[in-house]
Chain A
Amino acid sequence: MNRELIEILTSVLGTFAFAVILNAPKNRLLFVTLGGLISGTCLVIFQALLNNTFFSVCAASFITALYSEIFARLIKTPSTVIFIPSSIPLLPGGSLYYTVYNLIYFNKNNFTHYLKETAETGAGIALGVTAVAIIIFSIRSKRNAKTN
Chain B
Amino acid sequence: MNSKNDYKYFDTACEIGKRLAESGAEAYRVENTVEIILKTFGAHDISVFSIPTLLLIFAKHEKKRLFFSVRIHKTDIDLAEIERMNELSRRMCKSKSFPEISDSDYSYSKVFRLFCAALSTGAFCIYFGGTPLDAVLCSVPALAISLFENNKPFSLGEIAFSFRASLIAGLIACFFEMIIPGCSSNKIMIGAIMLLIPGLSIGNSIRDLLFGDILSGTLSLINAVTGGVSIVGGFAFAIAFFKYAVN
Contacts from A to B (Cβ < 8 Å): 6-7, 10-11, 13-14, 16-26, 28, 61, 76-78, 80-81, 84-85, 87-94, 96-101, 103-105, 121-123, 125-127, 129-130, 133, 137
How many cross-chain pairs have Cβ atoms below 8 Å apart between A and B?
A: 156
Contact check, A23 vs B123: say whether CB atoms are below 8 A apart.
Answer: no
Q: Write the B111-134 contact mask toward A (1 if CB under 8 angstroms, else 0).
A: 011001101100110111100000
* Interchain CB contact (< 8 A) of B80 among A24, A93, A125: A24
Chain B residues near A16: list those with CB within 8 A.
116, 119
B210 on the interface (CB 8 Å rule)?
yes
* Interchain CB contact (< 8 A) of B243 among A6, A61, A85, A104: A104
In order of increasing CB-CB distance, the 4 nearest A-B pairs are A17-B120, A126-B206, A14-B123, A91-B199
B211 on the interface (CB 8 Å rule)?
yes
CA–CA, A22 to B123, complex, Å? Answer: 16
Q: Taking A23-B108, A104-B239, A130-B210 as contacts, is the C-beta distance between A17 and B117 under 8 angstroms? A: yes
Chain B residues near A18: list those with CB within 8 A.
116, 120
Contact check, A25 vs B107: say whether CB atoms are below 8 A apart.
Answer: yes
Contacts from B to A (Cβ < 8 Å): 24-26, 29, 76-83, 86-87, 90, 106-108, 112-113, 116-117, 119-120, 123-124, 126-129, 146, 186, 189-191, 193-195, 197, 199-200, 202-207, 210-211, 228, 231-232, 235-236, 239-240, 243
CA–CA, A11 to B146, complex, Å? Answer: 20
Chain A residues near B200: list those with CB within 8 A.
84, 87, 91, 125
CA–CA, A89 to B120, complex, Å? Answer: 11
CA–CA, A129 to B199, complex, Å? Answer: 13
